[in-house]
Amino acid sequence: MTEAGAQTLTITRPDDWHLHLRDGAALRAVVGASARQFGRAIVMPNLRPPVVTVAQAGEYRSRILAALADARAAGEIDARAAGFQPLMTLYLTDNTAPEEIRRAGTSGFVHAVKLYPAGATTNSDSGVTDIARPRAALEAMQQADLPLLLHGEVTDGEVDLFDREAVFIERVLEPLRRDFPALRIVFEHITTREAADFVRQADGPIAATITAHHLLYNRNALFAGGVRPHWYCLPVLKREQHRRALVAAATGGNPRFFLGTDSAPHARHLKEHACGCAGCYTAPHALELYASAFEAAGALDRLEAFAGFHGPDFYRLPRNGDRVTLERRRWTVPDGHPFGDGDRVVPLAAGEVLDWQLRG
């Protein structure tokens, strides 16, 4: 049922097309949260050191599967959630070899390659310094039909932080689209009207992920009553007009837009810090946050396609066969979750009341 005022919402199980799972004790602590909600996730490769080879991606995948098995053995997740599928990515560098891309294309478990402009965000030091450098790798990706995932911000210190996505479109994305017309591209975690318009209008295979936090909040959330580090992510929240453009894109039914949480957990003390890390932890209540955003737009009936259809269609994977149910029930987002080694991680909107809750 999706009519206004409905008490439940049952939809095809969604996938998360942009997720940070971390590694080690943090991975073990957070993996269950995504597995409880989603069938699959595109897992970001920005570990330290980054995941740059297919062999490393295979090892990381094994560690994720082992963490899921541990969570199952500890009774933290059920058998269905234990079947959560991590879809791996490689981290593109200036020196990524075309042979590595070809290996990725035939691996069966590497589904995309992520481009971080060097210095753009968390663990991006080994990223691409100039888009001309990994040209051979981009050719190989186009050839192998392996999607390129973009952190779409320039890193030029002369460009205002709030303009870095729009400038990226002109300086990097338009030339890339022209030079590699058949390359499948995902413009990740878009935050501006310019990005939504570009993705809607561009020729060639392109899509964008949109986070729940960029649908729900504008940049005022960063400063409401004082500096709010748990609302700080990159690309940073933008003005209200941009938030509205993202809501229109997400709820408009266009298959180029789909769900990617960019859930990016950091230990509490590293967020609440003089130089706090970028990233919002949304995995435990991701669907609830998206449901709030879609309901506020009067578009709950559009959530299923955005969350469960457009992503697998773009990645050429089958849609999930099972379903999830959200119930209309007011509940309070917890203040924190365990994050391994005695640390805690604070979820986005901690202490706030949400209107929807995932059943089970």
Known catalytic residue at 262: yes
Between CA 217 and CA 247 the distance in angstroms is 11
Residue of 222, 349, 232 whose CA lies nearest to 283: 349
Biggest CA pair distance of the chain: 54
Kindly write down the DSSP assignment for every residue of 173-210, as one continuous string. Answer: IHHHHHH-TT--EEE-S--SHHHHHHHHH-SSSEEEEE
Among 56, 107, 122, 142, interactor with ligand DOR by CB under 6 A:
122
Question: Pick from ligand DOR, Zn ion, none: which does 41 bind, CB < 5 to 8 A by kind?
Answer: none
Q: Interface with ligand DOR includes 238 (CB under 6 A)?
A: no
Judged by DSSP in three states, 162 sits in: helix
Specify the DSSP element, H or E, that contains 247: helix 240-251
What angle is formed at CA 151 by the lines to CA 145 and CA 152, rounded to 5 degrees?
100
Q: Which is nearer to ligand DOR, 231 or 306 (CB)?
A: 231
Binding mask 269-298 for ligand DOR (x = CB under 6 A): ---------xx-------------------
Among 12, 34, 37, 46, contact with ligand DOR (rule: CB under 6 A): 46
Q: Catalytic one among 125, 179, 197, 262? A: 262
Backbone φ and ψ of 126, nearest 5°: -90, 10
Q: Does 233 bind ligand DOR (CB under 6 A)?
A: yes
DSSP 222: G
Residues 244 to 263 in contact with Zn ion, rule: CB under 5 A:
262
Place of tokens 């990740």: 188
Instruction: Compose the 11-40 pattern: x for residues touching ligand DOR by CB under 6 A, - for all others.
Output: ---------x--------------------
Least distance between Zn ion and beta carbon 127 (Å): 12
Which stretches of the chain bind ligand DOR, using CB under 6 A? 20, 46, 121-122, 151, 233-234, 264, 278-279
Q: List residues with catalytic annotation.
A: 262
Which stretches of the chain bind Zn ion, using CB under 5 A? 262
